[in-house]
Amino acid sequence: MTYPSVSPNILAMEILPKLKSAFRFSNFSLIQKISVGYAAMALFTMAALAFSSFSLYALNKTARGIANKDLPMISSLIKLRTSLLAQESYAGKYQILKDPTFVELFHQREKETMVNLGVLQDLDSSRDTATLNRLYADFRLAAARLFSGESDREGELRALSVRLLNAVDAFYGKRQDLLQAELQSANYQQESTIRWTIIISCTGFLLAIGVAPFVTYRTFRAIRKLQRATHRIAEGDFDYDPQIPPGDEISELARDFTRMAARLKVLEQNSLDASPLTRLPGNIAIERVLDQRLKSGGNFAFCYADLDNFKPFSDHYGYAKGSELLRVTGDLILATVKEVGDPGSFVGHVGGDDFVMVLSTDRVAEVCEAVIRNFDREVRRHFGPEDLARGGIDGCDRYGVHRFFPITTISIAVIICGGDEYSSAVDIARASAQAKDSAKETPGSNYLIVGKRKQA
């Protein structure tokens, strides 16, 4: 990436001869010499500020380029790799089980892959993107042959998947290297800015001692903090704060660096912690949200949702239908919370058939009722007509006893948190587990609020 720059050598070559020439034309009085000295100081100060501003503009442009291009590309590559692994898995399961459900799941992931390839194409129409499109076209063709019944296509599909994943990994590594190079280039630009700004400012300082340092002190200090921030972010310290006060271009650049680091941290954590089935935040994110809410000191509601009779449903209809019900449940809860809950609400997936919601206390009852209403309507679509007519299915419980299980329902245990009643996320989890057992004792979908407090 190129940077607009002003050469300090050119400034010195143009300004110093003119100053010498001016002094030779006449004999100056003291006040004139002082005035010329301050004028020269102001000129050098303006030159130093101009050079710093151009350099800071270039750094700001680099940060925006990273935020608008590099980070979305890296995110799309991560999502693309996840989708490809899922498609390969579904194709392999179809080859073994011949269940058309896996074909539907494959095509759902196929749409996600095309969206991510489109994002990459819009941001970077290089040979790497063209290679990914070509390899994925071959992969889709091989998958279509496999689904059409050509039994000898599994090996071909696996080979194409390996080539495609290797291409994605190579592209991802290249983008990471480019990002590192841009950070290093920005660091070099900062070092150059500091060096030449000091030279120009010290020249003005010699003409009017005591004025120039006062003018440039805050700028130098902020640039050094940005230099330190660049090193720390490049080393992976995404929580580092340069602590630059707001009010100028440097503070805006500092905010860009902070937002860039926060985005990198979120992408890294989400890629490791999110549920691959529902793509909802996992345990790490849930614990982080609870700790933040507890530190804020305000009241909030922690809702622990659990599906009743889910295991018999999964045993009866198969793993794929069970996974589909979990995915639909996650989407349903998230959509309901977005529609009914407050803007600061949070939805997470603990694992299996356990979900959590973090809501404001004044919306919790309305959200729980909406979730139950929407779930009871949706779950009936996943049962066969005969089972719906009977009101449930036959199966074995966890002790191996054969018995009748009603249609799957949802139980929600709500813990009202705030003040000093719960000191950690562990305490909340323990209380919600006890409340969940109480909620599940009542037949059908229901919710139970524990520790509800009167609002002022």
CATH of the domain at 45: 1.20.120.1730
Strand 402-406 versus strand 392-396 pairing type? antiparallel
Name the residue range of residue 375's domain: 274-450
| Dihedral pair phi/psi, residue 129, rounded to 5° | -65, -40
Structure token digits, residue 324: 């589909």
Clarify whether residues 181 and 279 are in a common domain: no
Q: How many domains does the chain divide into?
A: 2
| Domain membership flag for residue 440 | yes
| Domain membership flag for residue 229 | no
Which residues is 302 bridged to in the sheet?
A: 358, 415
In this predicted structure, what is the pLDDT of residue 41? 65
* Degrees, nearest 5: CA angle 258-261-262: 85
In this predicted structure, what is the pLDDT of residue 15? 45
Neighbours of 329 (CB within 10 A): 25
pLDDT tens per residue across all 456 residues of the chain: 433 444 444 444 444 454 444 444 344 443 444 465 566 667 767 776 776 777 777 767 777 777 777 778 788 888 888 888 888 888 888 878 888 888 888 888 888 888 888 888 888 777 888 888 888 888 888 888 888 876 556 677 788 888 888 888 888 888 788 878 877 877 777 777 777 777 766 776 666 655 445 445 556 666 776 677 677 766 666 666 776 666 555 667 767 767 776 766 666 655 556 788 888 988 888 898 998 888 888 889 999 999 999 999 999 999 999 999 999 999 999 999 999 999 889 999 998 999 999 999 998 999 999 999 999 999 999 999 999 999 999 988 777 788 999 999 999 999 998 777 788 888 898 888 888 888 888 889 999 998 653 332
Clarify whether residues 196 and 294 are in a common domain: no
| Dihedral pair phi/psi, residue 5, rounded to 5° | -145, 160
Structure token digits, residue 372: 């139950």
In this predicted structure, what is the pLDDT of residue 396? 83
| Dihedral pair phi/psi, residue 406, rounded to 5° | -65, 170
Half-sphere exposure in the Cβ direction for 190 (13 Å, CA): 25
In this predicted structure, what is the pLDDT of residue 4? 41
Give the DSSP per-residue string, 178-217.
Answer: HHHHHHHHHHHHHHHHHHHHHHHHHHHHHHSTTTHHHHHH
Clarify whether residues 195 and 344 are in a common domain: no
Answer with the one of 173, 201, 229 that is the final residue of a domain.
Answer: 201
Contacts of 227 (CB under 8 A, 6+ apart): 187, 190, 191, 194
Clarify whether residues 196 and 307 are in a common domain: no
Answer with the one of 201, 233, 257 that is the final residue of a domain.
Answer: 201
In this predicted structure, what is the pLDDT of residue 25? 36
Clarify whether residues 416 and 293 are in a common domain: yes
Q: How far apart are alpha carbons 255 and 244 in whole angstroms?
A: 9
| Domain membership flag for residue 248 | no
| Domain membership flag for residue 15 | no
In this predicted structure, what is the pLDDT of residue 408? 95
| Domain membership flag for residue 264 | no
Clarify whether residues 193 and 280 are in a common domain: no
Clarify whether residues 95 and 190 are in a common domain: yes
Answer with the one of 201, 223, 249 that is the final residue of a domain.
Answer: 201
| Domain membership flag for residue 116 | yes
| Domain membership flag for residue 8 | no
Task: Say if residue 362 is exposed, middle or buried (CB neighbours under 10 Å; 0-12, 13-18, 19+).
Answer: exposed
Domain containing residue 304: CATH number: 3.30.70.270
Length of the chain (residues): 456
In this predicted structure, what is the pLDDT of residue 5? 41
